[in-house]
């Protein structure tokens, strides 16, 4: 048997989820990620299935569900054998998976099993060395890139770099190219300048190379529509293809519904989402999509979209979502509260949800979110500008960089600049002394 020190140094040298710098995420983030990964689906033919199971296993381990973690790591190994369709059951794509299992057995105190997986990793790396001596195997780069892309918003640039290295060494992997292009496109969308012509062209080429990737197709149409192109006919054609396929968050239904809501018709979006749900009534993700469409109709539809029957339907859907995503229901509860506030008979329920959330012992980022959304609710639904300002200040005080902090700061600046509110001077003092946020 290997000594404990020697075993631990070998484990530290592995390339797997346990050694990648994924930080110490909060439990609420882990639950959100777990739901997100579950909603991708497990249909055959999904080329990322092995990676999905690997990350789900790691998330379950971090949450303390060790048995689930082991089962998911084993499923990852099976999925890789199916998706890689190799002559052999083993290949370099299993290096990360075996590393995860070595670590899991180590945490369980099963050192002999841990050592056995370390030996398997050594054997694979000897049999399938990286094409480039100074770099990791492209399979490892690709999985690391995909993991960082899902796990960590602030490591997306590093993820893009890893995808690039993997593609350079193994250019025939179409799904790596597609994920790389989507990652770059989503990063560009968030910048002030948005997607440029070159990036749009890269998406078009990726779409031609990966014609069965309807998520990419829907996202591409979304971006074309933003540039002023008429895409209604293509959107309707794509909708029929998506409906014929297994439904998951990778199937393209969500970006397509966003496109329908914004550029085609909110009612057509609802019809499409409800048709998908009718075909797959047990798919949790589709219930979320239908709820999203009703919320869009209430918030952004034409006059008359806020009739009581539409609001009641939205309430019913969001109540169900709160229970379906019970361990990560914060945003859904806030959405539900805001829809309650629009109803003729549920304003008290809206206030009750917010009061319950304000009293909860939340992590700072979640508290910031609640303060910001409560401040907006107080202003728009309760016409209470004084308390609204107080809660925007509370959101801004939490030194975490986020959309919600930016929104609160922007609103406070607007009130200060207009100089119409009696607290303008206090706001000016407050903003002057505001600490810099953590990135």
Domain ranges of the chain: 1-128, 361-439
C-alpha pair distances (Å), 364 with each of 24, 164, 271, 360, 439:
15, 35, 39, 11, 14
pTM: 0.93
N- to C-terminal Cα separation, the chain:
45
Strand partners, 438: 400
Predicted pLDDT of residue 46 = 83
Mean pLDDT is lowest, of 182-196, 224-238, 376-390, 397-411, for 182-196
pLDDT tens for residues 117-174?
A: 999 999 999 999 999 889 999 999 999 999 999 988 788 999 999 999 999 999 999 9
Euclidean distance between CA atoms 288 and 273, whole angstroms: 9
pLDDT tens for residues 77-129?
A: 999 988 886 556 789 999 999 999 999 999 999 999 999 999 999 999 999 99
CATH of domain 1-128: 1.25.40.10
Predicted pLDDT of residue 33 = 96
Token pair 């949790």 is found at 284
C-alpha pair distances (Å), 11 with each of 19, 108, 215, 399:
8, 14, 37, 36
Predicted pLDDT of residue 86 = 59
Mean pLDDT, to the nearest integer, of 222-227?
A: 94
Tokens at 49, concatenated? 């299935």
Q: What is the DSSP string of 30-95?
A: HHHHHHHHHHH---TT-TTHHHHHHHHHHHHHHHT-HHHHHHHHHHHHHHHHHHH--SSS--GGGH
| In the chain, % of residues over pLDDT 70 | 97
């Amino acid at each position: 048997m290997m000594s404990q020190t020697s075993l631990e140094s070998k484990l530290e040298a592995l390339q797997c989820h346990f050694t990648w710098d994924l930080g110490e995420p909060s439990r609420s983030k882990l639950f959100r990620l777990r739901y997100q990964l579950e909603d991708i689906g497990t249909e055959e033919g999904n080329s990322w299935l092995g990676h999905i199971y690997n990350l789900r296993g790691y998330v379950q381990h971090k949450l303390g569900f060790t048995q689930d973690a082991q089962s998911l790591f084993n499923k990852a190994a099976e999925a890789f054998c199916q998706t890689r369709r190799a002559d052999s059951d083993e290949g370099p794509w299993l290096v990360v998976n075996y590393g995860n299992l070595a670590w899991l057995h180590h945490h369980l105190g099963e050192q002999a099993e841990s050592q056995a997986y370390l030996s398997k990793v050594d054997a694979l790396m000897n049999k399938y060395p990286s094409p480039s001596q100074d770099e990791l195997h492209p399979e490892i780069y690709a999985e690391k890139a995909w993991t960082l892309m899902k796990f960590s918003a602030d490591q997306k640039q590093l993820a893009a770099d890893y995808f690039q290295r993997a593609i350079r060494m193994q250019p025939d992997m179409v799904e790596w190219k597609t994920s790389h292009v989507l990652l770059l496109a989503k990063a560009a969308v968030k910048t002030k300048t948005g997607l440029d012509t070159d990036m749009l062209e890269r998406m078009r080429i990726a779409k031609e190379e990966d014609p069965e990737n309807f998520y990419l197709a829907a996202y591409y149409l979304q971006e074309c529509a933003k540039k002023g192109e008429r895409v209604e006919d293509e959107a309707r054609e794509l909708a029929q293809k998506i409906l014929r396929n297994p439904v998951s968050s990778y199937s393209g239904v969500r970006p397509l519904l966003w496109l329908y809501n914004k550029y085609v018709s909110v009612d057509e979006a609802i019809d499409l989402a409800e048709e998908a749900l009718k075909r797959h009534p047990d798919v949790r993700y589709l219930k979320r999509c239908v709820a999203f469409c009703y919320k869009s109709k209430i918030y952004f539809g034409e006059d008359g979209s806020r009739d009581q029957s539409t609001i009641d339907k939205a309430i019913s859907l969001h109540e169900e979502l709160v229970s379906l995503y019970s361990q990560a229901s914060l945003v859904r509860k806030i959405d539900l509260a805001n829809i309650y506030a629009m109803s003729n008979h549920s304003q008290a329920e809206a206030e009750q949800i917010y009061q319950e959330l304000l009293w909860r012992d939340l992590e700072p980022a979640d508290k910031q979110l609640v303060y910001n959304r409560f401040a907006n609710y107080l202003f728009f639904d309760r016409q209470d500008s004084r308390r609204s300002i107080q809660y925007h200040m509370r959101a801004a005080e939490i030194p975490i960089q986020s959309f919600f902090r930016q929104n609160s700061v922007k609103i406070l600046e607007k009130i200060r600049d207009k100089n119409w509110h009696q607290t303008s001077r206090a706001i000016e003092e407050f903003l002057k002394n505001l600490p810099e946020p953590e990135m």
